Amino acid sequence: MNECASDVRFHEMPDGARIAYRHSEGAGPTLVFLPGYMSDMDGGKATALFDRAGETGRACLLLDYSGCGRSDGDFADGSLGRWRDEVLALIDAQVEGEVIVIGSSMGGWLMLLVGEALGDQLAGMVGIAAAPDFSDWGFSEEQKTKLSAGETIYEDNPYGPEPTPTHALFWNDAEQNRKLSGTIAINCPVHLLHGQRDADVPWEISLKLAEALRSDAVKVTLVKDGDHRLSRDGDIALLLQTVESLCLQHETNP
């Protein structure tokens, strides 16, 4: 548990589920971090962003999706649609003004759904190994057949001892939210970071995402020796620099 856990608060959703979050007030736009699949707000990138926001006087919002971290719920009941609604509910309750959304891996897919819903409130986005549409390219045909039949599949987890589950509910919802085959109606500045030694999400996905976004203000930074997590000190420094640059760009050209 993070040493700063004393500042964790809870937002109650209409179904009664309590969503854990951390929020620091400051200058806008508010930085909103969306973690990856089965991740939470105690990760290195999230805490580094939150700490830097506090140091620089910027507003920042972290959260745990339902079924993850300190939030209520069962992970088996989670989906992109549900987690999108939780993120939007927290933004509505805690944020005044514009936001910059930072999404890691699956969070980089979720940020597209959140960004479309935010409309003009969205000031920018930063993707870290963004993984839109992984329900399609991330599974074999055999796995897709099992998932479409309602089965749960398990895969080796390179980051922990327990296998990684994918539940049919999540997969079916994700298939309804695929984004790369059409134009993504987002017009704000976007910066995508991706390691070229990413064994989980091919770096070419970020290039496809850049092409699909309607915005012309899209940059892609490839880290040649970077892995999926991009959590080394240099990677974290690049993330913080990228976010700060986007904030300064917004202040110059609001």
Catalytic site positions: 105, 198, 228
Give every CB contact of residue 23 below 8 A, 6+ residues apart in sequence: 9, 59, 60, 61, 62, 94
Cα distance between residue 210 and residue 81, in whole Å: 22
Written as six digits, the tokens of 71 are 């939030």
Q: Could you tell me which residues are beta bridge partners of residue 155?
A: 164
Cα distance between residue 68 and residue 39, in whole Å: 7
Give every CB contact of residue 254 below 8 A, 6+ residues apart in sequence: none
Q: Is 253 helix (H, G, I), strand (E, B) or coil?
A: coil
